[in-house]
Amino acid sequence: MYFTVAKQRRVVFAGTLRPWVSGKDVVLALLARCGAQQSGGMSVEFVDRDRQLPMSYRNTIANMMAEGEALNGIFAPDDTTYAWYREKGMTDLPYPRFAAGEDARFELDETLDLSEVVPLIAKPFSPANAVPAAEVARERIVFDKAFIGSCTNGGYGDLLEAALVLRAARTKGAQRASKEFVVFPGSGGVKRDIERSDPRLGGESIADVFRAAGAEIRESWCGPCFGQGPDALAKGETAITSFNRNWANRMGVGGLGYLASPAVVASSALLGYMGPPDELGIEWRAERFV
């Protein structure tokens, strides 16, 4: 099998993450900046210069290089990577550390300033069609369904991010989702884990918080992402979702998909229109939401 080695591209993440910004916002910002050309089959290496991005954010960014038309996306393993494995009890790993050498050359070598990234919502029909969620909120765009999960944002950390928003919103009187609200854990293991109590939720489990807000928790699968199964969009229906693709007819023939982070999908589910957690009047505190 003959294979042409891909051209190399590097993206260095610098600056400081702003409130409510997650890995989904970072990758949507990157896709929006790249425009129609995207990565054109390149191999994209990401560098978390100041180690601000947890593994859930890195997974989202690397995963969505498929939407950036790249061959792959990768973060070289670092202390954040190995700390993640240790938390899961895996310390005797057969994988060596590796990183690009000092003399490595890249076809494209650029920096994305994280301090410029805000919560985003990607409108139809492209993940690159991303605009600030605050601007979308002013449009009062309503929807039929809110989905959280998928390979892109279905990890424990992703679902915790959404649950923290839902729980904080209770103090502001926002108790229940106004539209259909469905959660798709990224794996069977994640589905089991979210049933356990979490100290960051005052002893509640993520699943308890979702159910209290009126959400249904499905099995781990990605049917709605490609317009299959009972949650696929019907003609004329609209969804705000943490899935990875919103191309024409992708989530169901004639349906409209808007992409956002789990936090923004959670706040939108409570608001009844698309908008960031700020719209709920929740005060950002790093120790509470990071």
CA dihedral for 128, 154, 70, 115, sign (positive or negative)? positive
* Amino acid identity at 268: S
User: Helix H segments across 13-74?
Assistant: 23-34, 55-63
* Per-residue confidence (pLDDT) for residue 97, from 0 to 100: 87
* Per-residue confidence (pLDDT) for residue 36, from 0 to 100: 61
* Per-residue confidence (pLDDT) for residue 167, from 0 to 100: 95
Name the CA dihedral angle for 245, 248, 251, 254, rounded to a multiple of 10 degrees.
160
Domain ranges of the chain: 8-116, 120-289
* Per-residue confidence (pLDDT) for residue 40, from 0 to 100: 83
Name every residue whose Cβ is closer than 8 Å to that of residue 116 and which is 6 or more positions away in sequence. 15, 29
| Superfamily for the 120-289 domain | Aconitase, domain 3 (3.30.499.10)
Closest CA to 282 of 197, 172, 139: 172
> Beta 180-184 vs 216-217: how paired, if at all?
parallel
- Kind and range of the H or E element at 7? none
* Per-residue confidence (pLDDT) for residue 285, from 0 to 100: 75
Q: What is the mean pLDDT of each run of 10 residues along the chain (290 residues)?
A: 90 95 96 80 94 95 93 94 92 87 92 97 95 97 96 93 95 91 95 95 96 95 88 96 93 96 97 96 73
Name the CA dihedral angle for 30, 121, 205, 80, rounded to a multiple of 10 degrees.
10
Q: What is the CATH number of domain 8-116?
A: 3.40.1060.10
